């Protein structure tokens, strides 16, 4: 039987616009490293794993953006990913994508990772 599980991440007010935050969550299916990105009050989430080598994208907590803030950037070899769909547009994994995660934002502003 599949049951949906929700894991609390943070309140939406804890992420400023045009910034990212990293999270490590232990779920029923094991640990998940992820990042949340907030842009114009829209929050998106991706698994924190670069498609190039399968390692975390960041080397500093909560730091995932390129200098200009226009893309997510892998700190190891500099791959650039679109903010809105996680597609890699430059670097060694061009054409591949970050894995989007399902998040649920509740009316009170709390954000949850949602897993089947």
Residues that bind ligand FES (CB under 6 A): 50, 52-53, 55, 74, 76-77, 79, 91-93
CB of 50 to ligand FES, least distance (A): 3
Closer to ligand FES by Cβ: residue 49 or 111? 49
Is 43 or 65 the residue whose CB approaches ligand FES more closely? 65
For residue 33 the two structure tokens come to 């490293």
CB closer to ligand FES out of 35 and 74: 74
User: Minimum CB separation from ligand FES for residue 62, in Å?
Assistant: 18
């Amino acid at each position: 039987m599949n049951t949906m599980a929700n894991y609390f991440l943070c309140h939406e007010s804890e992420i400023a616009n045009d910034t990212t935050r990293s999270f490590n969550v232990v779920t029923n299916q094991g640990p998940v490293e992820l990042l949340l990105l907030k842009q114009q009050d829209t929050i998106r989430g991706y698994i924190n794993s670069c498609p190039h080598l399968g390692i975390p994208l960041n080397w500093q907590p909560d730091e995932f953006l390129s200098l200009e803030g226009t893309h997510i950037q892998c700190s190891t070899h500099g791959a650039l990913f679109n903010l809105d769909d996680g597609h890699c547009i430059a670097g060694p994994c061009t054409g591949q994508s970050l894995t989007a995660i399902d998040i649920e934002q509740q009316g009170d502003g709390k954000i949850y990772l949602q897993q089947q």
